[in-house]
Amino acid sequence: MKCEIIAVGTELLLGNIVNSNARYLSERLAELGIDVFYHTTVGDNMSRLQEVIQIALQRSDIIIATGGLGPTDDDITKEGVAEALGLKLVAHQESLDKIEDYFRKANRPMPDCNRKQGFIPEGSRVLENNNGTAPGILTEKNGKAVILLPGPPKEMTLMFEQLVYPYFKARSEHLIKSKTLRVVGVGESAIQERLQHIFDIQSNPTVAPYAKDGEVHLRITAKCHNDIEADNLLKDMEKQVQSILGENIYGYDEESLEYVVYQLLRSKKLTVSIAESCTGGLISSRLTNVSGVSEVLMNAIVTYSNQAKMKFLNVKEETLLKHGAVSAETAQEMALGIRIASNTDVGISVTGIAGPNGGTAEKPVGLFYIGLAIGDKVEAHRLCFPASREKVRWNAATSALDILRRELL
C-alpha cells in the first residue's frame, strides 16, 4: 500500500512550527508495512489544498492529512477533502453533542463556529478525539482510504494509536519489525564503505544508516508474515553487522550512550567523577538525564579557568605554563585530580577549544583532550572535530562517554 502524508497549515510553510507529525506517522506506518512515498505540505488555501488532494488520490492508496480541522475560517481540510471526493458535509450528532458538552463542562459559551467541527463527509467514520474538540475522519471511497487527523501532536498521536493503527494492522498482509544499532566512533561515510557489500545485495531485511549528533544509527528492517520469521532475519543481519563494526556498536533501539555507560558502571560497581572545561557541564548533564545515575556519579565540576583547575583539581601551574590548558598533560592531571578529590574509582576530564575563536595552527578550533583516571592508571586521548561551537562541545562529550565505555568493556 502506498501512502501519502499531507500536512495542512500555513504556519508550517512559514516555519513557525516544525512538522513533527509527519516524522511520527512515517515511523509508525513503516512498522505496519505501509510505504510512505510522499510528504506534502500545503497552506490554508482551498484551491491549492484541493489540487494536492487530487494529486494524492491519483498516486496513493492511503492519504493521511493532519491539521485544519479546527473551528476557524482557515481550517479547511475537511471541506477540501469532501469537495475533492464529491461528498456532502453532513451533521454528525454525536460529535456535535460532545463539542457542546465540552464547553458546558468548561462553563463557557460555545462559539457558533465550533459547530462546523461536528460535520463530516457523508458516509465517513468519525474518529473520536479524547484530547480535544476536533474529531478525526476516516473515509473510504473507490479503493482509497482518506484519514483526517487533528494537527496538535498530542491529539494526533493519541487518535492514531487508539484508532488508526488498529485499523491498518487488521488490514495489513505483512508485519514489519525493526531494530536499531547505535554506533559511535565511526563516521557515516566509513560505515558506508565497510558495509557496502551488504547495502549492494540487501532486499529483506534492509539496513539503512542515519547520522545522529556525533553517532550513526543503523536501522535493520524485516518485512515478514510473523514475528518468528522477522526476529530470525533481524538476528542474522545483526550478526553480520556486528562482525564488521564490533565495539563501535554501543547500544540498541532507544538506549543512549549515557545510559549504556551508566549500566556498565553499575554492573561493575564503580563510581565516577567528572571535571569539565570546554564542555561546560555537558557530560554530567547527559549522564544525569539517566534515572538512577546517582548510584555511580558522585561529583562533577566545571573548571573553566586555569585558576579553577589549579585550585579544585590540583593541576600544576608548571603544567599549564609548559603545555597549556588544552593538552594531554593537563587533561591527565584534571582526571586524576577529580578522582582523588571525589574519592571515586574513575575520574574523567575534558579540555579543549570549542571556538569559534582561540584556535591556532598548532591547536585548532575543535581540538580537545579527554583524560581518564582509573585507579593509578592515567591516560589522555587527543581528538579534533572542527565544527561549530555547539557541535564541538557535543562531540567532546560524546567522545568522553565513549572512551569511558570502551575502557569499562
- The CATH number of residue 337's host domain is 3.90.950.20
- Assess if residue 257 is contained within a domain: no
Is 379 part of a structural domain of the chain? yes
Q: Are residues 273 and 139 in the same domain?
A: no
Same domain, yes or no: 154 and 235: no
**Is it the case that residue 172 has pLDDT exceeding 80?**
no
For the segment 173-196, the average pLDDT, to the nearest whole number, is 91
Residue 24 lies in a domain: yes
395/185 Cα distance (integer angstroms)? 10
Is the same domain home to 22 and 100? yes
Mean model confidence pLDDT for the chain? 95
Q: What is residue 177's predicted lDDT score, i.e. its pLDDT?
A: 86
**One domain for residues 271 and 243:** no
pLDDT at 27: 87
Residue 341 CB partners (closer than 8 Å, separation 6+)? 273, 299, 312, 313, 314
Let me know whether 92 and 231 are in one domain. Answer: no
Mean pLDDT for 79-103 is: 93
Domain end position, chosen among 171, 203, 231:
171
302 and 364 together in one domain:
yes
Assess whether 339 and 325 both reside in one domain.
yes
**Residue 31: pLDDT band by 50, 70, 90 thresholds?**
confident
User: Do 24 and 42 reside in the same domain of the chain?
Assistant: yes
Range of the domain at 352: 265-408
pLDDT at position 338 is 98
Supply the CATH number for residue 192's domain. Answer: 3.30.70.2860
Residue 173 is predicted with a pLDDT of: 74
CATH number for position 72: 3.40.980.10
Cis peptide before 205 (omega within 30 of 0): yes
- pLDDT for the residue 226: 85
Please give the average per-residue pLDDT across 247-253, as a whole number. Answer: 97
Statement to judge: residues 224 and 165 lie in one domain: no
Residues 166 and 241 in one domain: no
Note whether residue 78 is domain-resident. yes
Q: What percent of the chain has pLDDT over 70?
A: 100
Confidence of residue 375 (pLDDT cuts 50, 70, 90): confident
Assigned domain for 259 exists: no
For the question of whether the overall pTM of this predicted structure is more than 0.85, the answer is: no
Tally of structural domains, the chain: 3
pLDDT digits (tens, 9 = 90+) for 297-336: 999 999 999 999 999 999 999 999 999 999 999 999 999 9
Domain C-terminal end among 185, 219, 252: 252
Q: Are residues 57 and 95 in the same domain?
A: yes
Determine, yes or no, domain membership for 260.
Answer: no
Residue 166 within any structural domain of the chain = yes
pLDDT digits (tens, 9 = 90+) for 129-138: 988 888 999 9
Q: What is the pLDDT of residue 32?
A: 83
Residue 69 has pLDDT above 80, yes or no: yes
**Mean pLDDT calculated for residue range 231-240:** 96
Domain limit, last residue, from 252, 277, 294: 252
**Range 269-289 average pLDDT:** 98
User: Could you give the angle at which helices 306-313 and 328-342 cross, rounded to 10 degrees?
Assistant: 40
Same domain membership, residue 241 and residue 285: no
